[in-house]
């Protein structure tokens, strides 16, 4: 299913990095497997048989020996020296903007230089320029001797890799706090992101700039931001991969006892980019004021981050203020860094660079729930693009002291929400009732003073 808009997810789990590391390296690998795990480890340095090219070898014989070594040792050499194989280097070149064919050619060339460096034929490697490599009389055994001199035996590891220690997941702790070091967390994040990318790429695409991210918010929660999704298949693959990984590590989703977090959606126009148009945003925000039960129905019942009452936000807009609402608002324009400067607009009223952030969703407990969230935004934002949509939004009911006076019970809100999604948006109410009913009932029962 190709969608009208494209989406980026913000998914949040409640957990601490230290608890993840306590599971151990093997558990982390099982939760977020990557292709590198299936590559046999390189042999210890002591077991590598050096290739010595005779000094009197002809240029043809030298080239033949090097080509043979490249063909048989390229990935082993690269993994041992820099922690990635030829395909990994190719991916880095592509991420830097090179075309696939060019990236493949450059990765092959770079692999050859690393092998030549490992054999002692050249003395330096330039990742970006071919040629101009300095010849050297050093043999492989001489270079091996130099490594031993530079790294004492007590610190030496046969499989040592740049940026990848042997005990990356279970011993890299800060000596004072006993928390995982920043380097260890960075390695964990890299594994998570690599796993998500490898699962997503077969159904994804490469014509957009951007990558997912991992953010540990103190010692309370972990937040994952996704690639941009244009199809339900892409969204499903990403959601299921991330969810399965954290579930395997025992990291829980937000529950009624946890505050903060959620499952927000960032929305831009499919294949065009930019946040929703100014008129569309006005319609959506006005409707969140006229129908506050939309936010109550989708949000966590105990979420107290809804900021000022929606009517206060509308007062700002009506008085000429910007469409840049406080972070807790249910719909807003946003940049990746959540900056709230005034966006610029194209001639058709679309924002440049911004996305539209729907912050009204709780963390989806299942893929079916996340799919329902996306389908709701597809229908709601799609309908709100109609210039006449505003005419059919019901009047804003009275608020007093920032509290809604007209919505007295969960049952009334359930009926109103049902009429809204069926009659206005054409969605199946049976899909949404299991999501919204527990939220509304709990909200009215325990958090009625927060119904703003």
pLDDT computed for residue 169 by the predictor: 45
d(CA 3, CA 231): 6
Of 258 and 160, more confident: 258
pTM: predicted TM-score of the whole model, two decimal places? 0.69
We find that the CATH architecture of domain 2-22+181-450 is 2-Layer Sandwich (3.30)
Question: How many other CB atoms sit within 10 Å of the CB of residue 18?
Answer: 14
pLDDT computed for residue 381 by the predictor: 92
d(CA 444, CA 296): 9
Site of tokens 């014509």: 207
214 token code pair: 């991992």
d(CA 76, CA 425): 57
d(CA 435, CA 234): 23
pLDDT computed for residue 302 by the predictor: 74
Query: Which residues are CB-contacts of 163 (< 8 A; sequence separation ≥ 6)?
Result: 83, 187
Given a cut of 80, whether residue 149 has pLDDT beyond it is: no
d(CA 359, CA 306): 9
Of 242 and 101, more confident: 242
Q: What angle do CA 61, 65, 67 make, to 5 degrees?
A: 115
d(CA 119, CA 114): 9
φ, ψ (nearest 5 deg) of residue 267: -125, 130
Question: pLDDT category, 335, cuts 50, 70, 90?
Answer: low
d(CA 83, CA 424): 55
pLDDT computed for residue 387 by the predictor: 84
* pLDDT tens, residue by residue, 391-446: 888 887 776 665 667 788 899 999 999 999 999 999 999 999 999 999 899 888 88
Question: pLDDT category, 278, cuts 50, 70, 90?
Answer: confident
pLDDT computed for residue 240 by the predictor: 96
Question: pLDDT category, 127, cuts 50, 70, 90?
Answer: low
Of 85 and 151, more confident: 85
d(CA 341, CA 333): 10
**Residue 221's beta-bridge partner residues?**
14, 217
Domains of the chain by residue range: 2-22+181-450, 42-150
Look over the chain and give the mean of its residue pLDDT values, rounded to a whole number. 75
Asked if 393 and 290 count as a contact pair (C-beta separation under 8 A), the reply is yes
d(CA 164, CA 82): 9
């Amino acid at each position: 299913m190709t969608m009208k808009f494209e989406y980026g997810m913000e998914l949040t789990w409640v957990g601490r990095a230290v608890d993840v590391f306590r599971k151990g390296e093997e558990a982390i690998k099982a939760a977020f497997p990557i292709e590198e795990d299936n590559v046999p480890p390189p042999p210890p340095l002591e077991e590598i048989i050096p290739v010595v090219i005779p000094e009197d070898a002809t240029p043809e014989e030298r080239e033949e020996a090097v080509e043979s070594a490249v063909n048989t040792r390229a990935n082993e050499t690269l993994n041992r020296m820099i922690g990635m194989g030829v395909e990994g280097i190719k991916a880095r070149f592509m991420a830097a903007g090179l075309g696939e064919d060019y990236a493949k050619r450059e990765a092959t060339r770079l692999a050859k230089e690393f092998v030549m460096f490992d054999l002692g034929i050249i003395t330096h490697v330039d990742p970006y320029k071919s040629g101009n490599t300095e010849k050297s009389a050093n043999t492989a055994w001489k270079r091996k001797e130099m490594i031993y001199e530079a790294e004492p035996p007590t610190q030496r590891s046969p499989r040592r890799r740049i940026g990848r220690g042997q005990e990356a997941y279970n011993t890299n702790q800060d000596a004072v706090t006993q928390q995982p070091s920043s380097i260890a967390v960075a390695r964990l994040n890299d594994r998570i992101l690599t796993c998500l990318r490898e699962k997503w790429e077969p159904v994804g695409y490469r014509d957009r700039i951007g990558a997912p991210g991992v953010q540990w918010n103190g010692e309370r929660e972990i937040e994952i931001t996704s690639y941009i999704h244009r199809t339900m298949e892409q969204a499903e693959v990403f959601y299921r991969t991330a969810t399965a990984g954290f579930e395997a590590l025992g990291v829980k989703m937000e529950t009624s006892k946890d505050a903060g977090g959620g499952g927000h959606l960032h929305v831009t126009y499919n294949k065009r980019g930019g946040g929703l148009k100014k008129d569309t945003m006005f319609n959506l925000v006005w409707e969140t004021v006229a129908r506050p039960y939309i936010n109550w129905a989708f949000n966590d019942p105990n979420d107290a981050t809804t900021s000022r009452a929606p009517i206060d936000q509308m007062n700002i807009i009506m008085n000429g203020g910007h469409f840049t609402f406080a972070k807790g608002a249910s719909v807003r324009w946003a940049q990746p860094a959540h900056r709230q400067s005034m966006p610029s607009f194209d001639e058709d009223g679309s924002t440049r660079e911004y996305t539209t952030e729907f912050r009204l969703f709780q963390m989806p407990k299942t893929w079916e729930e996340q799919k329902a969230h996306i389908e709701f935004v597809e229908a709601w934002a799609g309908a709100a693009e109609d210039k006449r949509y505003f005419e059919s939004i019901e009047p804003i009911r009275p608020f007093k002291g920032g509290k809604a006076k007209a919505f007295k019970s969960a049952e009334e809100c359930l009926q109103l929400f049902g009429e809204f999604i069926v009659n206005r948006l054409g969605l199946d109410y049976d899909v949404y009732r299991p999501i919204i009913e527990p939220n509304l009932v709990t909200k009215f029962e325990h958090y009625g003073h927060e119904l703003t």
